Amino acid sequence: MAKGKAVFFCQSCGFESAKWMGQCPGCREWNTFVEEVVTPMSGGRKKTGIGKKEEPTLLSKVSSEDSVRMRTGIDEFDRVLGGGIVSGSMVLVGGDPGIGKSTLLLQMCLLLASENHKVLYISGEESLQQIKIRADRLGNFSGDLLMLCETDLEVIQEVIERIRPELVVIDSIQTMCKSDVSSAPGSVSQVRESTGVFMRIAKTLGVTVFIVGHVTKEGVVAGPRVLEHMVDTVLYFEGERHAAYRILRSVKNRFGSTNEIGVFEMGQTGLKEVLNPSQYLLDGRPKGASGSIVACLMEGTRPVMVEVQALVCRTNFNMARRTAAGMDYNRVNLLMAVIEKRLGMTLSNWDAYVNIAGGMKLNAPALDLAVVAAIISSYKDIPVDEKTVVFGEVGLSGEVRGVSMAAQCVQEAKKLGFSRCILPKVNLKGLDTKGIELVGIEDLQGLMRQLL
Footprint of ligand TYD (CB under 6 A): 95, 97-103, 134, 137, 266, 268-270
189 lies in the site for Mg ion, by CB under 5 A: no
Q: Which is nearer to ligand TYD, 242 or 434 (CB)?
A: 242
Minimum separation from the CB atom of position 370 to Mg ion (A): 36
Contact partner, 440, from Mg ion, ligand TYD, none, Cβ < 5-8 Å per class? none
Minimum separation from the CB atom of position 93 to ligand TYD (A): 9
Of 56-64, 83-91, 102-110, 435-443, the window that binds Mg ion (rule: CB under 5 A) is: 102-110
Contact partner, 100, from Mg ion, ligand TYD, none, Cβ < 5-8 Å per class? ligand TYD
Q: Which is nearer to ligand TYD, 73 or 402 (CB)?
A: 73
Q: Which is nearer to Mg ion, 173 or 444 (CB)?
A: 173
Q: Which is nearer to ligand TYD, 166 or 265 (CB)?
A: 265
Q: Which is nearer to Mg ion, 214 or 322 (CB)?
A: 214
Q: Which is nearer to ligand TYD, 97 or 417 (CB)?
A: 97
Q: How far apart are CA 172 and CA 212, in angstroms?
A: 5
Q: Which is nearer to ligand TYD, 134 or 414 (CB)?
A: 134
Q: Which is nearer to ligand TYD, 264 or 391 (CB)?
A: 264
List CB contacts of 260: < 8 A, sequence separation 6 or more. Answer: 79, 80, 82, 249, 250, 253, 299, 300, 301, 302
Minimum separation from the CB atom of position 126 to Mg ion (A): 7
Beta-strand relationship, 388-390 and 292-299: parallel
Contact partner, 306, from ligand TYD, Mg ion, none, Cβ < 5-8 Å per class? none
Minimum separation from the CB atom of position 415 to ligand TYD (A): 30
List CB contacts of 62: < 8 A, sequence separation 6 or more. Answer: none
Binding mask 61-100 for Mg ion (x = CB under 5 A): ----------------------------------------
Give the chain as a 3 state SS string.
CCCCEEEEEECCCCCEECCCCCECCCCCCECCEEEEEECCCCCHHHHHCCCCCCCCCCHHHCCCHHHCEECCCCHHHHHHCCCCEECCCEEEEEECCCCCHHHHHHHHHHHHHCCCCCEEEEECCCCHHHHHHHHHHCCCCCCCCEEEECCEHHHHHHHHHHHCCCEEEEECHHHCECCCCCCCCCCHHHHHHHHHHHHHHHHHHCCEEEEEEEECCCCCECCCCHHHHHCCEEEEEECCCCCCEEEEEEEEECCCCCCCEEEEEEECCEEEECCCHHHHHHCCCCCCCCCEEEEEEEECCEEEEEEEEEEEEECCCCCCCEEEECCCHHHHHHHHHHHHHHHCCCCCCEEEEEEECCCCCCCCHHHHHHHHHHHHHHHHCCCCCCCEEECCEECCCCEEECCCCHHHHHHHHHHCCCCEEEEEHHHHCCCCCCCCEEEEECEHHHHHHHHC
Q: Which is nearer to Mg ion, 104 or 354 (CB)?
A: 104
Contact partner, 219, from ligand TYD, Mg ion, none, Cβ < 5-8 Å per class? none
Q: Which of 394, 395, 423 is nearest to 408 (CA)?
A: 423
Query: Total residues contacting Mg ion (rule CB under 5 A)?
Result: 1
Q: How far apart are CA 173 and CA 225, in angstroms?
A: 13
Contact partner, 266, from Mg ion, ligand TYD, none, Cβ < 5-8 Å per class? ligand TYD
Minimum separation from the CB atom of position 202 to Mg ion (A): 21
Contact partner, 95, from Mg ion, ligand TYD, none, Cβ < 5-8 Å per class? ligand TYD
Minimum separation from the CB atom of position 102 to ligand TYD (A): 3
Minimum separation from the CB atom of position 103 to ligand TYD (A): 3
102 lies in the site for Mg ion, by CB under 5 A: yes
Minimum separation from the CB atom of position 163 to ligand TYD (A): 24
Contact partner, 99, from Mg ion, ligand TYD, none, Cβ < 5-8 Å per class? ligand TYD
Minimum separation from the CB atom of position 171 to Mg ion (A): 6
Q: Which is nearer to ligand TYD, 101 or 425 (CB)?
A: 101
Minimum separation from the CB atom of position 101 to ligand TYD (A): 3
Which positions lie near Mg ion, rule CB under 5 A?
102
